[in-house]
Structure 1
Amino acid sequence: MLVDEQMVPENSVQQIELLTTTDDDYGGVLVEIKNPMDSNVFGDLLRASILQWRQCLLGTKGVWIKLPIEHANLIEAAVKEGFWYHHAEPDYLMLVHWIPKTAHTLPANASNRVAIGAFVVNSKREVLVVQENSGTFKGTGVWKLPTGVVNEGEDICTAAIREVEEETGWMPIEEYSAQPFVKKNPLFDSIANICLAKNDMKYTGFSPLSSTSNSGETSTLYFNSEDLEQ
């Protein structure tokens, strides 16, 4: 638990206990319950914490609570404070709450999630690029391709168009490709080279290339290797 000090009318300091959190990359926080707790005590802590999150100058958005199965007695208290089930695994339940008075933008749970990226080039040899306001690359200065997650039931091509329409910003292809971030990432470097070849030589066809994504996982890229090498 976290202890927060607030002033009371008599100019004395009142200590208010809050739930301990860790920040995520998207303006939200994660609460991990690790120790046994009475449900009434948990409810009081949760109400005080929600009030604090609402007053946060940085604008807390999504609040996630990870409840191990041994702390299932706290589920009802969380639901009463507006949390809902997001997903469950054999040993824990993840609940979530949206603080802003707007429609939430939290991703739906899925065992497999399809991510897309769009390489859009114009006649001036400029490529559409963005800088993230949230996420892994926030504040890094990296210009990247528009990317996102395909919504449930959404066509992949429709998702790519939607993500492009949500973003703007053109830069020369060569400038994008020369970024250290792109050069150091085998997958992104290969994509940039393929798209350059597509723009210059108008190749077609596919062949597999095993590469490594930014997360360190192995990915397979499909393209026409013969035309790329011409």
Structure 2
Amino acid sequence: MNRIIRKCRFISFIELNAMYMTCFITLLAAHCLLVSSCPEDKNPLNQVMSVSTSLSFVEEQVITPENEVEQFQLLAAVEDSYEGVVVDMNDHQPLDSEVLTSLLRASMSQWKQKGKRGVWIKLPIKLSNLVDAAVKEGFRYHHAEPDYLMLVHWIPETVDTLPPNASHRVGIGAFVMNSKREVLVVQEVSGFFRDTGVWKLPTGVVNEGEDIFAAAVREVKEETGIETEFVEILAFSQSHEEFFRKSDLFFVCMLEPHSFDIQKQNLEIAAAQWMPIEDYAAQPFVKQNKLFNDIAQICLAKSDKDYTGFTPLGTTTSSGKANYLYLNNHDMVKLLTSSTDQH
């Protein structure tokens, strides 16, 4: 009796396995039929089958046309809006150059297959040892900041359309005049005007993310201690090859003083005072230098109320960011403000 039971169990096991095998063969046949009918670019054999990500790497398993499974470790990247990818290596632990080379070659191959164009690598200063390895793989410098270097590479064999680095530096000059027709002027400790005896308007550079009018108020406060309120942009100039091959935009800003007791900054300013505007404009250097003379004449015209500058109007960009539109017509400012209020 026991032999009969064991025999029946064995027969049942064989039948069950046969059933499973039949189902597997049926599913496999259906899968092969699906694969053969797909276009090459949609073929599941060429698609990523599984992806696991971390802050530093992406591991991809790909089935090759030879039905072999290959696993690649790639650099983690975020797609941009221009068919490119951005790799931020700030979260990477220290890497060896050979490891980066291997990762770059595997990653570039995948990005090329996916039709990507520009590749951006943000390399923090702690990984500066990897610059040489990246350059040897075809990357070039784009720009540098105090804490990172940006490297770029154009993949297609077409014209490189990656946008260049920022081309301009933005500076301000502050025209501040009191009720006595005296203008706020300074002499600098260093730079081109050092020990020249020339009295000049307070000047400075606009910081990243800082509005022009805010920079003018800040610079006057830092250099002279005078509290001011922005009024207008009187004029601006553009020059080239000024600062490490960058172009320069310089905005002459009119400010209204709200304090008058000068407390100069000793680090940058040798002297500061209120000077009659006519005396400022009559300085030999100002008279002989056309740009300085033109600015002085504009300031004189504004002091006589014969000149209208550019007034800031708060607005927003298409993406919703706040910014300022500078207009030289007070009536137009009122008109636009009224129109905005009605909406």
> What TM-score results when the alignment is normalised by the length of structure 1?
0.54
Distance, in Å, in 2 between the alignment partners of 1:98 and 1:217 is: 33
Q: Which residue of 2 aligns with 1:2?
A: 58
Find out whether 1:212 has 2:293 as its counterpart: no
Alignment of 1:79-228 (within 5 A): 79-110=135-166, 112=168, 208-214=311-317, 216-226=321-331
In our comparison, the structure showing a higher alpha carbon Rg is: 2
Q: Is the 8 A contact 1:67 1:94 kept in 2?
A: yes
What residue in structure 1 maps to residue 104 of structure 2? 46
Q: Given residue 325 of structure 2, which amino acid in structure 1 is its aligned partner?
A: T
Q: For 1:208 and 1:9, how far apart are their aligned partners in 2?
A: 66
The residue that corresponds to 1:32 in the other structure is: 88
Rounded to whole Å, the distance in 2 between the matches of 1:223 and 1:62 is 41
The offset of 1:223, in angstroms, is: 4.8
Q: Which runs of 4+ in 1 moved over 4 A?
A: 111-114
| 1:74 paired to 2:130 | yes
Superposition CA RMSD, Å? 2.7
CA distance in 2, matches of 1:42, 1:207: 51
Q: What residue in structure 2 maps to residue 178 of structure 1?
A: none
What secondary structure is seen at the aligned counterpart in 2 of 1:108? coil
What is the alpha-carbon distance in structure 1 between the residues aligned to residue 153 and residue 327 of structure 2?
Answer: 40
How far 1:213 moved relative to its partner? 2.8
Kindly provide the amino acid, as one letter, of the partner of residue 164 in structure 2. A
Per-residue deviation at 1:206?
A: 7.0
Deviation string 1:96-150 (CA, Å, 9 cap, x unpaired) is 0001111111111116489xxxxxxxxxxxxxxxxxxxxxxxxxxxxxxxxxxxx
1:6 CA displacement: 1.6
Shift of 1:82: 0.4
CA separation of 1:27/1:113 partners in 2, compared to 1, >3 Å: closer, same or farther?
A: farther
Q: CA deviation at 1:221?
A: 2.8
Q: Using a 3 Å threshold, how does the CA distance of structure 1 residues 19 and 212 change in structure 2: closer, same or farther? A: same
Q: What is the DSSP-based 3-state SS (H/G/I as helix, E as strand, rest coil) of the residue aligned with 2:311? A: strand
Structure 1: unaligned runs, 5 residues or longer: 115-151, 154-204
Structure-2 residue corresponding to 1:18? 74
CA distance in 2, matches of 1:213, 1:105: 28
The TM-score normalised by the length of structure 2 is: 0.37
Residue type of the alignment partner of 2:102: D
Read off the aligned partner of 1:37 and give its amino acid letter: L
Please give the alpha-carbon distance, in whole angstroms, between the structure 2 residues aligned to 1:112 and 1:213.
Answer: 23
Assess if the C-alpha contact under 8 Å between 1:206 and 1:225 holds in 2: no
Q: Is the 8 A contact 1:2 1:17 kept in 2?
A: yes
1:60 is paired with a residue whose SS is coil
Whichever structure has more strand as a proportion of its residues is 2
Residues 221/54 of structure 1: CA separation in 2 closer, same or farther (3 Å cut)? same
Aligned length in residues: 140
* Cα distance between partner residues in 1 of 2:82 and 2:309: 35
